[in-house]
Amino acid sequence: MVLKKLRFIRRLFRRERGLHYRSLINLFPFIRPHWQYLVAAILFIIATGISVLWLGYGLRRLIDRGFNSIENLTTSILILSFFVLLLAISSYGRLFFMSQLGEKIAIGLRRSVFKKLLYLDADFYENHLTGDLLSRLIHDTSAIQSFLVNAFPVLLRNAVIAIGGVALLYYNNLKLALIMSFCFPLVVIPLFVFDQVVRLNKKKRQEGLDMLSARAEEVLLSIKTVQAFNQEISETENFNEELTNGMRHIRQYAKSKSFLAFSVIIVGFGTIGLIVWIGGMDVIAGQLTTGQLTLFCFYSLAIAGSLGVISEYWGDIQKMIRATRRLAYLWDAKSRVPIIDLPKPFRKKASEFHISFKNVTFSYPGRSHIYALKNATFDIPYGQTIAFVGPSGSGKTTILNY
């Protein structure tokens, strides 16, 4: 049973390595014009993390010296207030610049994707669902925007808190820091392992929602045909089956994510409890002040909380990568019909133009062995009105569409 679990986890790692992180390069052209917003936002995010770490020193001063006199109490409160004000200002700057950056990038992405869709040929649309293309245009660009506005600042801020907190732990108390380092793998290993399961289930859940959306859109767009052929019951059953499959993925995702949170809380705060017990004995022995122990606990909680937040938002990175890959698929799509530029204006009069088909043969990609048109030939002079008459399937709609 254990070997089976280990093989399953190894397969998950291979799937994660299969993600094309190189697809993120496709976002650089959309970020480059707004690099000032990105730099300003990163500086404010770093300032936010540093402000949180400085709060620990404010608490240490308040506990060790703040209650000795009114002057020390006032000074300690002013220092804490300064750090809180700095945290508020940096949070405002982070939200202000990241919100604008995310909106500008989303606009650029949608403009680029929509322009690309306009120039793809009919064969491409025969092989792709309209709902899926709309999902890429709207939902995938929104996923990238949501990551930039919400997840990226949180990930970077908590990374600064975690790295800075570890450095300050070693600077303040080497003994307790070594104990924390020894217990650190007990927190990280289950975090990393179960996070793989969470990400896989989240991916399946999102794919199911995309397929459900695409299927519903296709049915509603062709609702007249569905009703004309009395397919309401059949389409309802198909939709309910998709919903049932989606609920199974949602349950798996909720179960794995809940167990991840449970394991992190038990192991993480159990480690902090051990450190408080050891540090408390040093306080009783007079080797450590109450403020120093409080400072260490503050940084330990900050690090544990940061790791928990990073694990929670890590799935958003994978979601953003998948969205970028789906958009990159559209950007890389090639049209069979060449785009012909006409830099010079037509010199012919409108009356000299006409529509002409000469031995045109056409078949749809999904049924290439059946010809919708075969050696079709006709000429329509300018200013004349004609009618196409023929039985169903003779190619009338094909001629008008293509």
**Domain segments of the chain: what residues?**
20-332, 350-401
Task: Give this prediction's pTM.
Answer: 0.64
Q: Say whether pLDDT at 205 is over 70.
A: no
The whole-number pLDDT of residue 339 equals 62
Q: How confident is the model at residue 348 (pLDDT cuts 50, 70, 90)?
A: low
Three-class SS of the chain:
CHHHHHHHHHHHHHHHHCCCHHHHHHHHHHHHHHHHHHHHHHHHHHHHHHHHHHHHHHHHHHHHCCCCCHHHHHHHHHHHHHHHHHHHHHHHHHHHHHHHHHHHHHHHHHHHHHHHHHCCCHHHHHCCCHHHHHHHHHHHHHHHHHHHHHHHHHHHHHHHHHHHHHHHHHHHCHHHHHHHHHHHHHHHHHHHHHHHHHHHHHHHHHHHHHHHHHHHHHHHHCHHHHHHCCCHHHHHHHHHHHHHHHHHHHHHHHHHHHHHHHHHHHHHHHHHHHHHHHHHHHHHCCCCCHHHHHHHHHHHHHHHHHHHHHHHHHHHHHHHHHHHHHHHHHHHCCCCCCCCCCCCCCCCCHHHCEEEEEEEEECCHHHCCCCCEEEEEEEEECCCCCCCCCCCCCCHHHHHHC
349: confidence class by pLDDT, cuts 50, 70, 90? low
Mean pLDDT of the chain: 77
Worst-scoring range by mean pLDDT, 100-109, 203-212, 222-231? Answer: 203-212
- Does the pLDDT of residue 284 top 60, yes or no? yes
357 has pLDDT over 80: yes
20-332 has CATH 1.20.1560.10 classification: yes
The span from the CA of 124 to the CA of 263, in Å, is: 47
| Residue 196, pLDDT score | 62
Amino acid 43: pLDDT: 92
pLDDT tens digits along 291-316:
777 777 788 778 777 877 777 777 77
Percent of the chain with pLDDT over 70: 78
Whether the per-residue pLDDT at 253 is higher than 70: the answer is no
102 vs 310, higher pLDDT: 102
Q: Given a cut of 70, is residue 220 above it in pLDDT? A: yes
The mean pLDDT of 349-374, rounded to a whole number, is 75
Q: State yes or no: pLDDT of 128 exceeds 50.
A: yes
Query: Considering only CA atoms, which of 355, 361, 364, 363 is closest in space to residue 375?
Result: 361
Mean per-residue pLDDT for 315-333? 82
